[in-house]
Amino acid sequence: MVMASVTTIASHLTSTFLYAPEFCRLSQSLHTSQRPCTRKSVSGTISANIDLKPPPYALDALEPHMSKETLEYHWGKHHRGYVNNLNKQIEGTELDKMSLESIILASHNKGDILPAFNNAAQVWNHEFFWESMKPGGGGKPSGELLELINRDFGSFEALIQEFKLAATTQFGSGWAWLVYDLEDKKLVVLKSSNAINPLVLGSYPLLTLDVWEHAYYLDFKNLRPDYISTFLDKLVSWDAVSSRLEAAKVSIEGK
């Protein structure tokens, strides 16, 4: 079992795999929704095409574990802010009209990060986060996902411990992830700082938890460990993780 921080897998950044067409196809399979081609603002001034996608549930649907107030700020202000700022940044540039994943890879620029990266990656990260939760979440995974967890971590409990450790020890702002490592073909727990995500780290994201303070401060104040436990006990959607694992395997085998 492997837990890696972003610094220890920085060597993946030099991999040419990241920028190969195979990977772009793979990353596009992560989102099942349609993305309309253009979005016009009321004033008609911005036509860059990145959407603010709502969570797949009402903003109060995760109560009492994640409050409506948190969702109103986290989705309604933070996520919305990333979308609006990204659209302003890419308007009229070569990034305009590209898919979100392509914008992320292009602006990550093999580690020599360009200005649009932070907004683009955070838009993606937050969409992925909402989809990683569901009302009545928690419980245990099953089927092939559970088999792989047992194979790669020893047990479900061991995965939980490792995920909790990653989320607790990500210092400052960032994210904890469960990913499928495409080279080693195994499940891995990662943590990343600020906006960095597995798309630029050479692995296939399956689950994420936002550990920026804005994600939990209104509900849990400084008690990040309680937030992490609540996420795992009450909110995590193992169904979403299983679907993503399916998509990962299809993408890899279809290469």
| Residues near another protein (CB under 8 A) | 73, 77-78, 81, 118, 171-174, 193-195, 212-214, 217-218, 221-222
- 118 or 132: whose CB is closer to another protein? 118
79 carries a ligand binding annotation: no
Could you give the CA distance from residue 53 to residue 127 in angstroms, rounded to a whole number? 7
- Rg (Cα) of the chain, in Å, rounded? 17
- 151, with CB counted inside 10 A (0-12, 13-18, 19+), is exposed
Dihedral sign from CA coordinates of 117, 132, 23, 197: positive
Packing angle between helix 156-169 and helix 143-153, nearest 10 degrees?
A: 70
CB 197 → another protein: shortest distance, Å? 14
Closer of 13 and 218 to another protein (Cβ): 218
Q: Is 210 annotated as a binding residue?
A: yes
Nearer to another protein, 224 or 249 (CB): 224
CB of 237 to another protein, least distance (A): 25
In whole angstroms, how close is the CB of 76 to another protein at the nearest point? 9
Between CA 58 and CA 66 the distance in angstroms is: 12
Flag whether 31 is marked binding.
no
Of 15 and 194, which has the nearer Cβ to another protein? 194
Task: Select 63 or 213, whichever has its Cβ closest to another protein.
Answer: 213
Query: Would you call 21 exposed, middle or buried from its count of C-beta atoms within 10 A (0-12, 13-18, 19+)?
Result: exposed
Least distance between another protein and beta carbon 212 (Å): 7
Q: Give least dist CB 174 to another protein, A.
A: 7
- Please, where are the H alpha helices in 74-142? 80-90, 100-108, 116-131
Q: Which is nearer to another protein, 191 or 244 (CB)?
A: 191
Among all chains, which residue has been given the structure tokens 């996420």?
231
Question: What is the chain's length?
Answer: 255
- Cis bond leading into 135, ω under 30°? no
Q: C-beta of 129: minimal distance to another protein in Å?
A: 16
Alpha-carbon distance 180 to 245, whole Å?
Answer: 8
Residues annotated within a binding site for Mn(2+): 74, 126, 210, 214
